[in-house]
Amino acid sequence: MTPVTDEIRVRRGHENASYDPDLLRQIIDAGYFAHIAFQHGGQPVCVPMMYWREEDFLYWHGSTKSRAMLAGAGDEVCITITHWDGLVFARSAFHHSANYRCVMLFGTAERVPEAHKPAHLHTLMERIAPGRDDDLRPMSAQERKGTALLRIPIDRVSAKVRSGPPRGDPADADWPVWEGVVPVAQTFQPAISAALTEADRETPDNIARLEGVSI
């Protein structure tokens, strides 16, 4: 993976950008939700979406009518994946901060051909609930046509991470105020069945396994 343009990189200053491929993949694979930015009708637009990684490509999908699909093939996009890990309290307002892991990916959106859609959508479902796709009512040709699937290569990308305690001015060390971190956790909760029949209500293992998993 290669860095983003120098212009972006240089302006980042001392904010600890990283281009380590393992770190990048770890941050990407830890999440499900991202924000995608693109130009639309002359203005920047930022839309939430689900994503997944396969090898060195990042995929996203949606109804052909959804906002995330306003960015089409050939459009320049920036996809940002952020895990908020905590609020950081220092002895001066200036040194307050947030802990987070963030990956920014830049690329030109590519449309995935119709014939390849089923395999990629299968991978998404396998990621969330292994085995579930085989149990579902199969997708119709019309549904497949109504589902847009896009991707970008993961090659213009960088990570940024802040972790750990406050790092304030040593001159403030004796100032009498609490300093520390309030962590933030985002986790899956116990499943809620929507089934109307008694027989369907037991949560299957491939869903129940999500409970307590951090995002």
Quick one: 21 or 164, whose CB is closer to a copy of itself? 164
Pick from 29, 119, 35: nearest CA to 71: 35
Quick one: 51 or 53, whose CB is closer to a copy of itself? 51
∠86-91-92 over CA atoms, to 5°?
95
Least Cβ distance, residue 172 to a copy of itself (angstroms): 5
Least Cβ distance, residue 31 to a copy of itself (angstroms): 10
CB contact set of 90 (below 8 Å; sequence gap of 6+): 96, 97, 166, 167, 168, 172, 179
Give Rg (Cα) of the chain: 21
Least Cβ distance, residue 55 to a copy of itself (angstroms): 22
Least Cβ distance, residue 3 to a copy of itself (angstroms): 14
CA distance 103 to 40: 23
Quick one: 21 or 39, whose CB is closer to a copy of itself? 39
Quick one: 113 or 189, whose CB is closer to a copy of itself? 189
Least Cβ distance, residue 212 to a copy of itself (angstroms): 11
Least Cβ distance, residue 62 to a copy of itself (angstroms): 10
Quick one: 21 or 48, whose CB is closer to a copy of itself? 48
Structure tokens at 202: 């037991």
Which of left, alpha, beta for 170 (phi over 0: left; psi -120 to 50: alpha)?
alpha
Contact 35, 79 (CB under 8 A): yes
Contact 37, 44 (CB under 8 A): yes
Quick one: 113 or 138, whose CB is closer to a copy of itself? 138
